[in-house]
Amino acid sequence: MLPSEFQYLVEKFLDDSITPEELQRFRQWVLEDRAVAIQEAAIEAVLQKNNYPGEMPEDKQVMFSYILEEANRRTATHSGTKTVNMRRWWAAAAVLLLLGTGFYFLTRTESPVAVVAQQSNNIIQPGREGAVLTLADGSQVVLDSLKNGVITQQGNTDVRLRNGQLLYNSRNNAASASLTYNTVATPRGRQFRVILPDGTTVWLNAASSLRYPVTFPERERNVTVTGEAYFEVAADAHKPFTVKTDNGTAIRVLGTSFNVNAYTDESALRATLLQGKILVKTTTGNQVLLPGEQAVVGQSITVNKQANTSQAIAWKNGIFNFQQAPLEVVMRQISRWYDVEVVYEKNIPAITFGGEMGRDLELKDVLEFLQESGVHFKLSGRKLTVMP
Last residue of a domain, one of 190, 218, 246: 218
Looking at the structure, do residues 94 and 8 belong to the same domain, yes or no?
yes
121 falls within a domain: no
Looking at the structure, do residues 73 and 146 belong to the same domain, yes or no?
no
318 falls within a domain: no
Give bridge partners of residue 297 from the DSSP assignment. 269, 301
Looking at the structure, do residues 65 and 150 belong to the same domain, yes or no?
no
Q: How many domains does the chain have?
A: 4
Last residue of a domain, one of 160, 186, 218: 218
Q: Whole-angstrom Cα distance, residue 242 to residue 327?
A: 33
368 falls within a domain: yes
Looking at the structure, do residues 58 and 132 belong to the same domain, yes or no?
no
Q: 352 and 324 in contact (C-beta within 8 Å)?
A: yes
Last residue of a domain, one of 279, 307, 335: 307
203 falls within a domain: yes
Looking at the structure, do residues 246 and 303 belong to the same domain, yes or no?
yes
- 244: CATH: 2.60.120.1440
Buried b or exposed e, range 315-330, using 16+ CB within 10 angstroms: bbbbbbbbeebbbbeb
| CA distance readout (Å), 111 to 107, 209, 354, 384, 388 | 11, 38, 13, 22, 13
- 378: CATH: 3.55.50.30
pLDDT tens, 173-210? 555 557 899 999 999 999 999 999 999 999 999 999 99
pTM of the model: 0.71
Q: What is the pLDDT along the chain (388 residues), one digit of tens a residue?
A: 566 677 777 777 666 677 766 766 666 666 554 555 666 666 666 666 655 444 444 444 444 444 444 444 433 443 333 333 334 444 445 454 444 433 333 444 443 333 333 444 568 999 999 999 999 889 999 998 788 899 888 888 899 998 889 999 887 655 555 789 999 999 999 999 999 999 999 999 999 999 999 999 988 999 999 999 999 999 998 899 999 998 899 999 978 999 999 999 999 999 999 999 999 999 889 999 999 999 999 889 999 999 999 999 999 999 999 888 999 999 999 999 999 999 999 888 888 887 788 898 999 888 887 888 788 899 999 999 998 7
341 falls within a domain: yes
Domain range spanning residue 148? 126-218
Q: What is the pLDDT of residue 74?
A: 38
Looking at the structure, do residues 50 and 133 belong to the same domain, yes or no?
no
Looking at the structure, do residues 241 and 296 belong to the same domain, yes or no?
yes
Looking at the structure, do residues 164 and 251 belong to the same domain, yes or no?
no
